[in-house]
């Protein structure tokens, strides 16, 4: 993956822009955002190593390759953060809240 495509996707994700999915208004859960940032960094690092562009786009112009890589990187990063991470974070936050609530004084 091209460093420019990953950098553009990281810029939009860190600013909180979403192009393909609507972001939840409650920011997934009231837990600290450090986990979200670390998950996003790991996703972007993974996308940097993976070749998303198809072989049929290899002979294309360099600008078209960059456009396809940037759009696909933003799309995959949004799926990872908004759908996957928010679901995991909400589940774990609710589980921990229920567990700590049941351990407290009755």
Mean pLDDT over 21-44 rounds to 76
27: left (phi over 0), alpha (psi -120 to 50) or beta: left
Model confidence at 80: pLDDT above 80:
yes
Tell me the pLDDT band of 55, cut-offs 50, 70 and 90. Answer: low
How far lies 59's CA from each of 13, 46, 53, 65, in Å? 29, 24, 11, 9
Residue 105 has a pLDDT of 66
State the CB neighbour count (10 A cutoff) for residue 43: 23
Tell me the pLDDT band of 85, cut-offs 50, 70 and 90. Answer: confident
Model confidence at 28: pLDDT above 80:
no
Q: How far is it, in rounded angstroms, from Cα 97 to Cα 102?
A: 9
Tell me the whole-structure pTM to 2 decimals. Answer: 0.75
């Amino acid at each position: 993956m091209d460093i420019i495509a990953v950098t553009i996707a990281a810029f939009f994700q860190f600013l909180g822009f979403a192009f393909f999915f609507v972001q939840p208004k409650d920011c997934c859960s009231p837990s600290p955002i450090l986990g979200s940032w670390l998950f996003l960094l790991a996703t972007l690092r993974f996308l940097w190593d993976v070749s998303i562009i198809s072989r049929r786009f290899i002979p294309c112009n360099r600008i078209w390759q960059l456009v396809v890589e940037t759009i696909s990187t933003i799309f995959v990063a949004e799926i990872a953060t908004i759908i996957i991470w928010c679901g995991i974070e909400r589940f774990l936050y609710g589980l921990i809240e229920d567990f700590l609530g049941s351990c407290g004084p009755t």
